[in-house]
Structures are given as C-alpha cells and as structure tokens.
C-alpha cells in the first residue's frame, strides 16, 4: 500500500512541472565569443566596486558627524554627503561597464556588501579632510592595480577597460585628490592661529556663503 | 519631613519634564569660573526626551540603515535586469529609481537623526528586523516585482511601527515631530509606490493566465517597453 502511495507521489512530482504555470520566458543561448573579459581582470573590477561602496559609506559617516548639533559644520556635512553620492555613482559606472562587456549575467547578488564604516568621529575638519585624502589615495592605488591585472593578462590585454579606467577614473581621482589637498592645506593654515574661527569661516565658504 | 521629600521629588520630576533654563544654567555656572573650559553639557538640540526614553531614536537610526541596505540591493537588481541576457531595461529603470529614492532617504534620515541632537549609528538594527534567508537578485520579472512589493511594504510598515512608538501619548513616549516627519516624508509616498507595484504584478498575472500563457514572451517585452517609457 505504502509503495503504491509513494509511486503516486513520485509520478505526480514528475508530471507536475509539465503542467505547472510558467511565469517566465526560458533563457536562450546566443554566441558568447564577444564576452572577452578575463578572470583576474573581472575579479579586480568586482573588488573595486566593493571599494567604491565602502568609500560611499565612510563618506556618509563623515557627513553624519559634521551634521551633529555639537559639531555644527553644515558645509563639511554637505561636502561629505555629496562625496558619498559620488562614490555610489562610481560603483554604478563600473557596474555599467561590466554590463556593457557582457558581464554580470551571474553572481550579481554577491557583488557588494553593506558594512558599517570603520571610523565615526574626527577631531576637526582638517582631520576629516586628511582622512578623505588618504582614502582617495588608497582608491587611486587600487584602480592602478585593476589596470595592472587587466593589462598584464598574458592571454588578453584588455585595452579598452584600461583606457576607460585611465581616462575616466584616474583622471577624476587625481583632480579630486588635488581638490581635497588644496582644501586641507587652506584650512590648516586658517586654523593655525584661529582654530574655531578658521574652521567656522571655511565651513561657510563650503556652503557658498561669503562672510 | 516626609512632606518635604515629596515636595522635593515633585520639583525634581517637574524639572525633568519641563526643560527649564538648563543650557542657560550651564552657561551661568561655567562662565566666570577659574578654568578656561566650557562643558555646557545641556546646550544641545535634544528636547522632548528624544533618545532618553523608548526606542524612537534608535529606530530612526535603524530606519536609515534599512534604506541604505535596500538601496544597494535595488542597485544590484537594476544591474541584473540590464545584463545582455535579461535585457529588461524597463525593469532595470524601475529598480534604479527605487535605489535612488532609498539612497536619498538614507541621507535625509541621517540628517534628521542629527537634527534631533543624536548621532548616527550605522550598526543599529531595528527590533522589528527580520533576517533574510537566501537573498538573491537573480530573479525573473514577476519574482523580482513580488520581491520589490514585499520590500516596499517592509519599509512602509516600519514607518508605521516607528510612528506608533512615537505617538504613544504617554508622558515619556510622545514625539509629534518624528510622527509628522514620517507622515510627510515617507508614509504618503509609500502608499502610492506600493499601489503601483501591486498594479504591475496584477498586469503580469493577467498576461500569464490569459491565452494559456501563450502571450508571455511578447507581454513581458511590451511591459518592459512600457516601464521604460512611463515613470
Ligand atoms: Fe570613487
Ligand atoms: Fe572618490
């Protein structure tokens, strides 16, 4: 008796999928020769995307810090919140690139993780700008490493990606670093003799208010 | 003696609820002291017992974190529907928009947390948080819409929960400022978004069930085109 029941259940299991509601269109196969990115290059791009996401979160924490009532530096807060959105856009741009090259048909879910930023407080504006500058240098170094792994592949030199990273990303990194470095030194000079006042005025300057 | 104690404790209780001139008191006490430091611990933006009673303050931090997590998840869904195999640019656009909105809300809530004199804690999770199992963005169209609908409901219901915590109307748990912030910036738009997504799932359901499912591939193509052109 039991055997018959089992057989029926087994039969149902086999037959059911055939008559089940189909909620999607079956995937099709098309040639894949055009999908040419190599493993090391792909992996380093994926890591770079995660790094941009991490940078966006670190900048969010900076924005939050300078937005506090006891800190009260809305100019710095705006600067860092904007930087956070920019980092998110960098992650999106790299993702767009991978999609253009036929990537991200699988393993999309594992592409990035949201982890709480490491640092939450800074002594003053200078400390935060210096932290930002160090962080950007790390990012620049990391992009250079992506370029290396996409260029040095013995079977496939990924000229186009290398050009894209060099022309778009390194360009933006160097300009961005120069901007932060200029701000950090200007603020440091201002704060040398007039600590609180210097930071106050610089903050308003960041807001676009002339005093 | 007992009467004096009762009177004293009454006075203390009063000073706890009515924010007396406390920042001013700090200033009067500290200014003119021999030392050159000003602590002024009560000169801050905290009022109405924010962060001192109940969980509204921590729930608001957690609400920012919820938006942050969902924002990046939506971003991955947008990416998935934009690969050459799925190639559903309308679905991708829908998820990109959800991601952008959640990201903007993240920053907005963080600003609100600090506006109320608190600091942001990126580690804070809600007591309502349900851990997700087997989370994936690699879903077909209807599955992905269903997931988005569930997620938007999760976000909306969390707003209801914080609103409830903020409006218990007891002595220590009443924060109309947070309640009105949630109503104005979240609750109203959330109902529209949920209705929109539910409408999409209804449309897809009809495409699947009518004509024995024969319409599906063309229906999905056209629906994706529609998503690209609308909204
Ligand atoms: Fe970046
Ligand atoms: Fe950057």
Q: What is the pLDDT of residues A65-110, one digit of tens each?
A: 999 999 999 999 999 999 999 999 999 999 999 999 999 999 999 9
Put simply, whether the predicted model's pTM sits higher than 0.80 gets the answer yes
pLDDT bin (cut points 50, 70, 90) of residue B7 is very low
- Choose among A68, A77, A114: nearest Cβ to B72: A114
Q: What is the pLDDT of residues A113-133, one digit of tens each?
A: 999 999 999 999 999 999 999
Mutate to test the interface with B, among A17, A18, A20, A25 (most CBs of B within 10 A): A25
Query: CB distance from B24 to chain A under 8 Å?
Result: no
Q: What is the pLDDT of residues B115-173, one digit of tens each?
A: 999 999 999 999 998 888 889 999 999 999 999 999 999 999 999 999 999 998 777 78
pLDDT of residue A9 exceeding 60: no
Which numbered ligand comes closest to the C-alpha of A134? 2
pLDDT of residue A1: 53
- B168, B174 Cβ separation under 8 angstroms: yes
Query: CB distance from A104 to chain B under 8 Å?
Result: yes
Question: How far apart, in whole angstroms, are the C-alpha atoms of residue A206 and residue A57?
Answer: 21
User: Residues near A121 by Cβ (< 8 Å), separated by ≥ 6?
Assistant: A65
pLDDT of residue B8 exceeding 50: no
Crossing angle (nearest 10°) for helices B56-80 and B89-115: 160
User: What 3-state class would DSSP assign to A1?
Assistant: coil
Query: CB distance from B201 to chain A under 8 Å?
Result: no
Please give, rounded to a whole number of angstroms, the shortest distance from the CA of B187 to a CA of chain A. Answer: 24
pLDDT of residue B5 exceeding 70: no
Inspect the interface and report whether the beta carbons of A109 and B140 lie closer than 8 Å.
no
Phi, psi dihedral angles at A209 (to 5 degrees) = -95, 125
- B186, B162 Cβ separation under 8 angstroms: no
Mean pLDDT of B24-41: 85
- B81, B75 Cβ separation under 8 angstroms: no
Query: CB distance from A209 to chain B under 8 Å?
Result: no
Question: How far apart, in whole angstroms, are the C-alpha atoms of residue A169 and residue A115?
Answer: 24
Contacts of B138 in chain A (CB under 8 A): 106, 108-109
pLDDT of residue A200 exceeding 90: yes
Which numbered ligand comes closest to the C-alpha of A169? 1
User: Residues near B214 by Cβ (< 8 Å), separated by ≥ 6?
Assistant: none
User: What letters, b where the CB count within 10 A reaches 16 and e where it falls short, cover B62-80?
Assistant: bbbbbbbbbbbbbbbbbbb
Residue B124 counted as an annotated binding residue: no
Please give, rounded to a whole number of angstroms, the shortest distance from the CA of B205 to a CA of chain A. Answer: 8
pLDDT bin (cut points 50, 70, 90) of residue A201 is very high
What ipTM score was computed for the predicted complex, to two decimals? 0.91
């Amino acid at each position: 008796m039991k055997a018959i029941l089992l057989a029926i259940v087994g039969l149902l299991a086999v037959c059911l999928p055939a008559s089940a509601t189909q909620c999607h269109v079956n995937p099709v196969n098309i040639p894949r020769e055009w999908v040419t990115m190599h493993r090391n290059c792909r992996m380093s791009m994926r890591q770079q995307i995660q790094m941009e996401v991490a940078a966006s979160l670190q900048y969010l924490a900076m924005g939050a810090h300078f937005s506090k009532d006891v800190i009260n530096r809305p100019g710095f807060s705006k600067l860092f919140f904007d930087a956070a959105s920019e980092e998110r856009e960098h992650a999106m741009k790299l993702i767009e690139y991978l999609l253009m090259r036929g990537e991200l048909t699988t393993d999309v879910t594992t592409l990035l993780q949201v982890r709480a930023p490491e640092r939450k407080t800074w002594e003053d504006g200078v400390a935060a700008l210096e932290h930002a500058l160090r962080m950007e240098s790390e990012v620049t170094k990391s992009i250079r490493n992506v370029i290396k792994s996409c260029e040095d592949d013995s079977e496939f030199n990924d000229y186009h990606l290398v050009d894209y990273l060099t022309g778009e990303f390194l360009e933006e990194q160097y300009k961005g670093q120069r901007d932060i470095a200029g701000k950090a030194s200007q603020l440091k000079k201002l704060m040398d003799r007039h600590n609180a006042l210097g930071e106050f005025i610089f903050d308003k300057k960041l807001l676009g208010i002339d005093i | 003696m007992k009467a004096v104690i009762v009177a004293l404790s009454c006075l203390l209780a009063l000073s706890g609820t009515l924010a007396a001139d406390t920042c001013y008191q700090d200033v009067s006490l500290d200014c003119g002291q021999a030392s050159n430091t000003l602590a002024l611990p009560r000169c801050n933006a905290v009022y109405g017992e924010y962060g001192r009673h109940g969980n509204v303050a921590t729930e608001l931090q957690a609400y920012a974190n919820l938006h942050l997590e969902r924002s990046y998840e939506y971003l991955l869904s947008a990416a998935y529907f934009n690969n050459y195999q799925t190639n559903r640019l309308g679905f991708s656009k829908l998820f990109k928009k959800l991601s952008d909105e959640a990201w903007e809300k993240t920053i907005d809530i963080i600003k609100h947390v600090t506006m109320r004199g608190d600091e942001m804690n990126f580690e804070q999770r809600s007591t309502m948080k349900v851990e997700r199992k087997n989370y994936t963005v690699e879903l077909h169209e209807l599955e992905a819409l269903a997931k988005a609908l569930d997620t938007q409901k999760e976000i909306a219901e969390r707003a209801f929960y914080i609103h409830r915590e903020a409006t218990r109307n007891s002595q220590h748990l009443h924060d109309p400022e947070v309640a009105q912030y949630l109503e104005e910036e979240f609750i109203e738009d959330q109902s529209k978004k949920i209705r929109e997504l539910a409408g999409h799932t209804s449309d897809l359901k009809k495409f699947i069930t009518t004509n024995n499912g024969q319409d599906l591939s063309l229906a999905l193509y056209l629906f994706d085109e529609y998503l690209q052109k609308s909204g």
